[in-house]
Amino acid sequence: MKTELITESQDSLTQDQFLKHILHIEPKDVNLKFIFDHIRNYGICGAMLWAAVKVLTEAGSEPGILERTLTLAAGALLFALPWILFAANFAHGLVAAGKLQKTNRVNIVLYSVLCLVVFAAAGKLMLLARV
């Protein structure tokens, strides 16, 4: 299946067209830098998740109700955002894998496990760093 960039104005894109446009990748674009960029993105997601946990655990020590509410809201956003970014990065990697070779369930499962391990390792690294 060949995907093409959308030539029309991005103001009029439907949600499906927008996702196709964002996930577009050519086989020539999948190289070592692409792989390291994906690994880095999982690390960033892990760091964001660590920050969310840190913010949420310290929310109870805020003195006022407004401060506590704002801290909880920020923590909730920080907790949700890495999962959304993880899913986007994961989908982009699957599209790239599909462009390079015929994917099967084994490849998708191996890719999924590897992504989750890198994501968890990044989060664990942040916990151990105690920054």
| Number of domains the chain contains | 1
Residue 81's pLDDT band, with cuts at 50, 70 and 90, is very high
Q: Is residue 2 part of a domain?
A: no
* 7 located within any domain: no
- Is the pLDDT at 102 greater than 70, yes or no? no
Range of the domain at 51: 31-129
**Model confidence at 76, in pLDDT bands (50, 70, 90)?**
very high
C-alpha separations of 125 from 19, 26, 36 in Å: 32, 33, 17
Return the pLDDT at 129.
Answer: 62
Q: Tell me the pTM.
A: 0.68
Question: Is residue 3 predicted with pLDDT exceeding 80?
Answer: no
